[in-house]
Every structure is written in structure tokens, then in C-alpha cells.
Amino acid sequence: MARSIAPDHGKKRRAILRKAAAFFAENGFDRSSMSQLATACGVSKALIYHYYDSKDALLFDIVHDHLAALLQVIRDVDQSGPDKQANLRALVHAILDAYRDADAEHQVQTEAMKSLPPQQREKLAELQREMVRIVSEALRAVTPDLYNAHPEKLRPVTMSLFGMLNWFYMWHRPGKGMSREEYADLATDLVLRGVTGL
């Protein structure tokens, strides 16, 4: 008979993921052991292994949960309004806001995803490609004539926008300088004004 799942299984799993993301971000995935992680989490190694049978499985869930949540945020942004620039701005704000409490997860995704087996990396890449597709369509909607005439420019502009957002956590310090919201506007303006100049 299969063992029943405890009512707080999901809550404990999420807590392990959050603590593991912070631990891997600070210490490096390759240099971290499950024993060290258990100590950092204040639990036994046996409990960690109750939820995850390997460090790779734990890493995959950290990155998958992070990307899946981000993709859902992106999908939820209404892009049906007539003001396409406002639609893009709302999308940029939503992405940067979704990063607010996910610096560790984002860092682990950036630095450690390459440690996963190819099949798992491909599953994560599918989520990333869908995010890129949605943002690309929002950019295309702002200046469709430009991208119809020069389709080769759409991906570089899209990835440049993601680059501005993805590295925000590296230099931003809450309460110092530009706010998250102000930077979202700045990144949007840089893209919009740059694109119109193309």
C-alpha cells in the first residue's frame, strides 16, 4: 500500500526549495553537498532525501518552479489593449516584479542550470522559449512594420530586454538609487526609443 502524503508535504517542499536556492546561490551548486544543505536548512539529511533523491532533482525543481511561476506571470499580463507600448510596459513591470523575491532562484538558474542532464535542461528551455515568444510578440506589436521588414532584429532586441531585466539583481540594492518600478520604466523606454531609431 502506498504511503499517504502528509498534509504539509507541499509546504515543507517549498520551504526546502527556498532555502536550497539561497544556499546554492551563496555557496555554488557544484561546491554544495546535501549534508551541508541539510545543516543550513536545520533538518536531517534523511528529510532532504525524503523529498529529493539527488541534488540534481532538487536543482531541477528550484529552476522549474521559478521559470513556471515567471511564465504564468507573463501569460497573465493582458496584451489585448490598443496601446501596444503600454502593453509592453505592463509586461516589463510584471517580469521585474516577479523577480522581486526570487534573486536566489534567478541566480541558481543562471549559474547552475548547465549542471543538469540534457533532458532536464530541454524541459526548462521550453519554458524559457515560451517566455521569449510572448515578449517578442509584445515587441513586434509596438513596431510591426519594422520587424516585418527586418525580422532578424526581433530576437536580438528581445534578448537585450531580457538581459537588462535578468541582471537587475546583480547591482540593485533596495532603498538605494532607482526603484524597481523606475528601472522597469527605464528599460522599457530604452527599448522603445531604441527601436524607433532603427
Mean pLDDT for back-to-back runs of 10 residues, the chain (198 residues):
52 88 93 91 89 92 96 97 97 95 91 92 96 97 93 95 91 88 96 80
pLDDT reported for residue 12 = 82
Map residue 167 onto helix, strand or coil.
Answer: coil
CA-wise closest residue to 28 among 98, 95, 114, 121? 114
- In order of their start, the domains of the chain are 59-196 (1.10.357.10)
pLDDT reported for residue 184 = 96
CA-wise closest residue to 156 among 186, 187, 132? 132
Q: Is the alpha carbon torsion for 48, 52, 56, 60 positive or negative?
A: negative
pLDDT reported for residue 4 = 45
Question: Rounded to whole angstroms, how far apart are CA atoms 139 and 125?
Answer: 21
CB atoms within 10 A of CB 158: 21
pLDDT reported for residue 2 = 41
